[in-house]
Amino acid sequence: METRDGFVIEKTVQQISSGKRLDAFLAAYTRMDGLSRSDTRAGIEAGLVTLNGKTETSPTRRLRYGDVVVSRIAPTPKEGLFANPDLSLPIIFEDNDLLILSKPFGVQMHPGGNDRTHTVANWIAATRPEMAMVGGDPIRPGIVHRLDRNTSGVVVLAKTDESCDVMREAFRERKTEKTYLALVVGHVPEEEGKIDYPLAQRTGTLQRQAVKDPQSFDGEMKEALTEYRLKHRYAEYDLLEIFPKTGRTHQIRIHLAAIGHPVLGDSLYGGRRMRREGMPRRQLLHALRIAFHFKDGIRVYEAPLPADFADFISGIDAAENPGYPGEASNRKRED
């Protein structure tokens, strides 16, 4: 059972969510209202959540199948957005419902940390003021999914509350198909592969980690699945097509690092070897394509490979022996 009235959420816990913490369970739904995990935790502690009809103030309370959770947590007012007309973002497509952008690397999706003005949200405030309250959060107007600051590529924005609900549902229910390009260090062992490690937060840091042995891990994990396919082999690197089947924070970067092939330029998960002279100043990860079913049928959008990514590839050496026993070949593909 699921009902929603304004900011009130009523959910009946299904078997798949049995054993989850209350704050983790609710966070998947309160994000729709622009609430962070810490906002949700604070709301629980403030007595704004009931469990089976009784007020529950412990965010860590473990849920059971059949439990009924009701949340009345509403977002607190936030400071207004600075309208930045000097920021230029390439538009791939726009109609009355959706705005599709090609986000450059170095641009955040919304204000956070030390960047309060150079974000997609600030650009929206300057160029599309009518979107100010789409989705209910004035700091994230129309934003239904995110790319990391130093990841480039296609981004979908909703221009109306109706389209915002449709797209949030599509992302939440994994009804979108996303394709990324990544240049990784070294050579993957197979032409096609899957990385099926759950992810967990590293205590006290912004980093996540791949859990290679879930049975012995004592902590909260989230399912994560990434598929890849070799597109081209270079002397020291592989260019991969990446197909994330879940949408966890930093998922692609963590998974590729976990199999020993971090994204080139990713100093957070690739370590000090990414800081050498000649290395790119950002991770060479690009959201190439997104496909989803909208009200008028299947929509597909692509963002061209940025110049910095394309230029780096054109300047590196081809593989002298693109295929050898135990490693993926680089035979020509039919695209």
Report how far residue 244's alpha carbon sits from residue 177's, in angstroms, rounded to the nearest whole number.
8
Residue 62 CA, chain-centre distance (Å), reads 26
- Annotated catalytic residues are 148
CB distance 144 to 168 below 8 Å: yes
The b-or-e profile of 134-144 (16+ CB within 10 A means b, else e) is: bbbbbbbbbbb
Are 56 and 22 within 8 A, CB to CB?
A: yes
Residue 250 φ/ψ region, left for φ over 0, alpha for ψ in the -120 to 50 degree band, beta for the rest: left
CA dist list (Å): 166 to 26, 91, 248, 278 = 20, 21, 20, 43
Interatomic CA distance for residues 322 and 206, integer angstroms = 37
Closest C-alpha to 22, from 55, 168, 205? 55
Cβ atoms of 290 and 147 within 8 Å: the answer is no
